Each structure stands twice: as C-alpha cells, then as structure tokens.
Chains A and B, each alone.
Chain A
Amino acid sequence: MLRFLARRLALAVPTLILASMIIFALQQLLPGDVATALTGEERDPQVIAFIREKYHLDEPLPVRYGYWAGGVLRGDLGDSIRLQKPVSELIVEKLPVTLELACLAMLVALAIGVPMGVLSAVKRGQTADTVANGIALWGLSVPNFWLGILLILLFSVELGWLPASGYVSPFESLSENLAAMVMPAFVLGNAIAAVMMRHTRAAMLGVLGSDYVRTARAKGVSPLRVTLRHALPNAAIPIITLGALEFGQLLSGAVLTEQVFSVPGFGKLMVDAVFNRDFATVQGVVICTAATYIALNLAADLLSAAVNPKLRRA
C-alpha cells in the first residue's frame, strides 16, 4: 500500500511541475510587451516599471519561472492587479463556493448516472437500456449553459419557484443556499451523469458477465442481490477512477454554470479576471485547478486501492 502510494506520488509531482511550467509559459503568448500587457488599462510608466521589477521581467524565462514557482510553493500566487488583493486570498475566498457546487453536482451525477447505468446493464438490449442510452446521449449533447438558461426561463421567469441567480452562504441560511444551488448543481451534474452512466454501464456489463456472478446465480442468489452485492462493488473501482477523471470536466463546466447563474465562485473569478486582463489571477486559478485535479486523481487511486482487497492487504 505504501509503495503504491509512493509510486503514484512520484508520477503526480513531475506532472504538476510540468503543468505549472505550461501555465507559466502562457504569459509568453501575450501580444507585445508583457509588462505593458500585465498592467492592463494602466499606462503610467512608473507602474509599468514597478511591474517589470516585481515580476523580474528583465530576467530570462527560466529564472522568472523560478521566482514564480518559488512564490507558488510559499502560497504566493501574485497579486490581482484589478482587485488589489493577493490572488491566493481571492482563491481561498471563492474556492468553497465552487467546491460546494462541484460536490453537489457530483452527487447529482452519481445519483442519476449510477442507477441508470446499472439498470441499462442489467436490462441490456431491452427498452430500458435504449431509453437510458438515449438520455445519456442527450445529457452529453446539451450545452450546459443553455440548459441553465432554459431552467431559469422555466423555474424562475415562468414559475418563480427558484432564484435565477445569486448565492447565499450555507452558514447564513441553508435553505436559501440550497434553493440557489439546486439549478446550478443539476445543470452541472447533468453532463457528468451521462458520462457516469456510460462508465457504470460498461463496468457493470463486464462484471455481470464474470464467472463469479454466475457462481452467485448458481447458489440461488436473487437477481437483485446479485446486482447490488456481487456485481456493483466490483464495478465500483473503475467507476471511482473514471469518476475522478470527470472532475476536470466538472471544473470546466463550473466556469460556465457560475457564469449563467452568477454564482461567485472560482469560475466566475477566472472569467472576470480574463476580462479585466488580470493575468496573475488567471494563472493562479488555472494552477489551483490543475493541482486540485491531480490531487483528486491521486485520491481516487487511493480510494480504489482501499476498495480492492488485493491491494488493501498488500
């Protein structure tokens, strides 16, 4: 188990370093002088000189990366030019909102996707399977920002049941928080539900065709128990691992969902930063996303190892 953990970490660290290099290198794409671009609207030569100094823009690229990466390791992601605040502070402020949204969306995705996938695997080739596959295809194809708009149109504009936008902290009012989050979570979870359904179906089909499922049936175990007790736990490992990979899509989708519902999270921070030419914030958000994604995959690997008795005792 420890060796497994070490091996995974040994792979994750260089990946993160390389990803940070790519993110840092994005700066080089800025047209014209980097210092001028970084200052945004400001044209004061003194400010530009200050920026040039602060980001060591006269040094060669690798040295600049060194300064930046060193800062990132110390939790210093630079300052937001627009908001005059450290980027790390902004992220710490916005991250919980997005994490809540992401977790609720994952819950929605699992609650819809896994049962649907199990059902369609058990009823392979029958009507239920066709219907479930159709729903999954719909979920994969509908752009989630459009779905968000349609839901707002229905539940906020027409029916007036749910708020169209805004965010209330769960510590202020849990019910208002949930009322504000239910549509975003559903919209965001929808596409992932489709993917989870397909993963679950594939994993379950593999397991349902296995010899030990036949053994269980030969013991007189009922179909329901065969599915839930014998097949599903063994299908869980690929579902967990693949589900964690979907977290990237979840974060991508969160950017749009937050935009549609004006949820003040990570994605909204990034989009606002993009429009304010607040590049330190953009980089900060991207590196945090990548780190979160890598950490989650690591967690998924560990979780699947914990579920797998062969690895647990090794």
Chain B
Amino acid sequence: MSTGTPIAETTALAAPAGSPALLQEPGTLSAFWRRLRARPSAVAGLVIVGLLILMAVFAPWIAPYDPTATDWGNVRGAPSLAHPFGGDEVGRDVLARIIYGARASLGAGLVSVALAVSLGLPLGLLAGYAGGWIDGAISRLTDALLAIPFLILAIALAAFLGPSLVNAMIAIGLSATSTFIRLTRAQVRAVAAEEFVEAARALGNPPWRIAIRHILPNIVPAILVQATLTIAAAIIAEASLSFLGLGQQPPEPSWGAMLNTAKNFMDQAPWMAIWPGLSIFLAVLAFNLFGDGLRDALDPRQRT
C-alpha cells in the first residue's frame, strides 16, 4: 500500500529537517506564535474552538432549558422568542440540546484522538526506532487496519461493542490509531537519521533516552497538526455514528442523533435539521482551519 490515510485530509508535515526541537526553544515558539497569528483563518478557527469548548463546559449555566425536558406545547414548535431554535418532535428546546450536544461532539473528538495518540505514538516510536521484525509486525498491522475504511471500522467496532457514546469514542479512537502509528513511524525514521541524533548515540545515550529526549520533541509538531485535523474527522465520525444510532443514545443530546430524528420531520420542522448540522459544520470547520494554520505555521517550507 502507498502512503496516506483514510481520515479526512492529512497532508502531514515532513520532518522538520535539521531544526532543533521546535517547541523547546522559546525563540522558535514565539516565532511560531507570530506566524500563526499572521493567519486570520487559523486565529478564527482557534477562537471558535475556544468558544465551543466554553459552551460545552458551561452548558448547564448557558442553556435556557433542560435539554431532556419535554414540553407538549412546543412539539415541533417553530423558532420563537421563547425557543429561538424551535422545538423538536417531543417539544424539547433545540437550542438547549445544541448547547449540551457540544459535550458529546467535542468530548468524542478529544477523547478518541487522545486515545488514538496514546496508542499510536508509542507504537509508532517503537516501530520507527526499533526497526527489524518489530517494525515489520507493527507496520503490517497498520496496513491491515488502514485497509478497513475508517468509518466502516468504527461502525463495526461500535456494532460489536454495543451502541453508546463511550463505545463510539473507543471505536473512533481505535480506528484512528493506525494513522498516528504510521505518521510517528515516518517522522521517527526521518529524525533518527539526523546528525544530532547520531551525535546523541555516539555519546552513549541509551536508545529509550534518545527516543524520548531527542526524537519525541522533534516529531511533536507533526503529531499536533495531525491530531488537530483528526479531531475534526472524529467529530464528524461521532456525529455519523450518532446519526446512525450507534453513538449517543436518546434522550441524551448529540448533534448527530438530532439530525437522525430531524430527517423524519424535514417537511414539518426543518429547523430541527438546520441547527445541529450547522453546529457540526462549524466545529469541524474550526478544527480544520486551526489545523491547517498550525501546519503552515510549523512548516517553514510553506512560504508565500
């Protein structure tokens, strides 16, 4: 198989050749920050991400209603002053459900990617640094996992694990792991060939120490970019699973699940479909914008 991953767009960074640990030097960090701020789209992405996280964390204080409380007077109620986003098929407030829904979406995005990184990074480090049959075994496993399309694997996992938000997170995380194994491995191999690693080896540093002290800091930027873009993919994946009924279970709110029910009331209550979709779009767009900006700011080759 060739390179590439099934998850969204993952033009990963090439190893920052020759540059000493990008994030270790305060000078480079501030330069990076300056480059990031020079990109309005990246800043916009970061701001939206921040606002969404605040919304998810402070949902109980922001939401005007209990997201699971039904109100028979508001069944498929059109948007009004009392219910700006309208009501759903059992009269729950759509705005409140959107606000609480951020918890499922962002939570799934962050948790599943954290899982994927915490599995993929060590395995990738091991494969890239140890080489030999260990590398062979891990690489074949990665190829095999990548051969099963991301969402299909996630659906299958969720099917066998049983439908729930936690299982959806696990399924998405496991499905995304192969991407991080492959990326880390490629990065490690590129960085391990650098002179400063040779020098560290010549000084008699043990392999694990070289891997953690010298190699890891150099591959952090690429992993960070990939993680940000994968969060975007994971948010879509969670929404997809919930849309299919394999994620967040009713009556707990999730944007994907809301779209699932909205589908049946499209002609009578289109607002039920508009807001959750818009929320998913905005969240995914924000992470994509931020991830793209991050990549451009971290990659010194990407000028003009």
Contacts and interface: CB of A to CB of B under 8 A. Distances in A.
B234 interface: no
Contacts of A251: 149, 152
Contacts of A18: 140-141, 143-144
Interface in B285-304: 285, 288-289, 292, 304
A297 B9 contact: no
Contact of A19 (B144, B256, B276): B144
A255 B144 contact: no
Interface in A21-60: 21-23, 26-27, 29-31
A290 B259 CA distance: 29
Interface string A269-285: 01101110001001101
Contacts of A255: 151-152, 155, 240, 244
A226 interface: no
A235 interface: no
Interface string B144-177: 1111111111011111111000000000000000
Interface string A287-307: 001100110010011000000
Contact of A31 (B8, B162, B281, B292): B162
Dominant SS among interface residues on chain B: helix
A65 B204 CA distance: 46
A150 B239 CA distance: 16
B243 A145 contact: yes
B266 A27 contact: no
A145 B240 contact: yes
Interface in A122-138: 124-125, 137-138
A199 to B, nearest CB: 9
Interface centre among A138, A241, A286 (most CB of B within 10 A): A286
A248 B240 contact: no
B270 interface: yes
Interface residues of B, number: 56
Contacts of B259: 145-146, 149
B157 A26 contact: yes
A42 to B, nearest CB: 18
Given A14-B140, A18-B141, A293 B149 contact: yes
B157 to A, nearest CB: 7
B281 A286 contact: no
Nearest to B237: A252
A221 interface: no
Contact of B304 (A19, A27, A125, A286): A125
A195 B150 CA distance: 16
A43 B52 CA distance: 46
B256 to A, nearest CB: 8
B4 interface: yes
Nearest to A260: B263
Contacts of A300: 2
Interface in B244-281: 244-246, 256, 259, 262-263, 266-267, 270, 273-274, 276-277, 280-281
Contacts of A137: 285, 288-289, 292
A140 B145 CA distance: 23
A202 interface: yes
A28 B272 CA distance: 38
Contacts of A29: 157, 160-161
Contacts of A22: 144-145, 148
B11 interface: yes
A252 B155 CA distance: 9
Contact of A245 (B6, B156, B239): B6
A143 interface: yes
A270 B152 contact: yes
Contacts of B117: none
B110 interface: no
Contacts of A241: 2, 4
B1 interface: yes
Contacts of B159: 273-274, 279, 282
Nearest to A297: B1
A174 interface: no
17 contacts: A137-B288, A140-B9, A140-B284, A141-B288, A143-B284, A145-B240, A146-B280, A149-B277, A152-B266, A248-B148, A253-B151, A271-B155, A271-B244, A274-B155, A274-B158, A282-B159, A293-B147
Given A15-B143, A16-B144, A245-B2, 5 more contacts: A14-B140, A16-B147, A142-B281, A142-B284, A242-B4
Interface of B: 1-2, 4-6, 8-9, 11, 140-141, 143-153, 155-162, 232, 236, 239-240, 243-246, 256, 259, 262-263, 266-267, 270, 273-274, 276-277, 280-281, 284-285, 288-289, 292, 304
Interchain residue pairs A-B with the least CB separation, the first 7:
A146-B277, A252-B151, A18-B144, A248-B149, A141-B285, A248-B6, A29-B160
